[in-house]
Structure 1
Amino acid sequence: MLLEQYIASLLRSSKPVPQYGWHNQSLFSRLPKWMIVAKHRPGLLKALAKLKQ
């Protein structure tokens, strides 16, 4: 699952769009900040695994 891979990743990089600069159009750029914070990673991954079942 794409969301699970993003949450589990330790290094997340983003690139600007050449013509327009930085954009807020990706799914991941719109996630709430608490989902991106490292201290919530284990609990969030556990919850995503439970949802997959």
Structure 2
Amino acid sequence: MIPQNFKDFLANSENTGLYQAITLLLFMIFFIALIILVLSKSKNYYKEV
């Protein structure tokens, strides 16, 4: 559960849109890096595993 004061901080902040954009960007970078990592491995690596 999120404390009420933290909810108020995010709801009333001037930079809420910036925080959302940064979070989305980090989320996308993580999953794109994960996809690149998976696709860069050879098929033999997955057969061995």
What TM-score results when the alignment is normalised by the length of structure 1? 0.32
Higher relative contact order (CA 8 A, sep 6+): 1
Higher helix share: 2
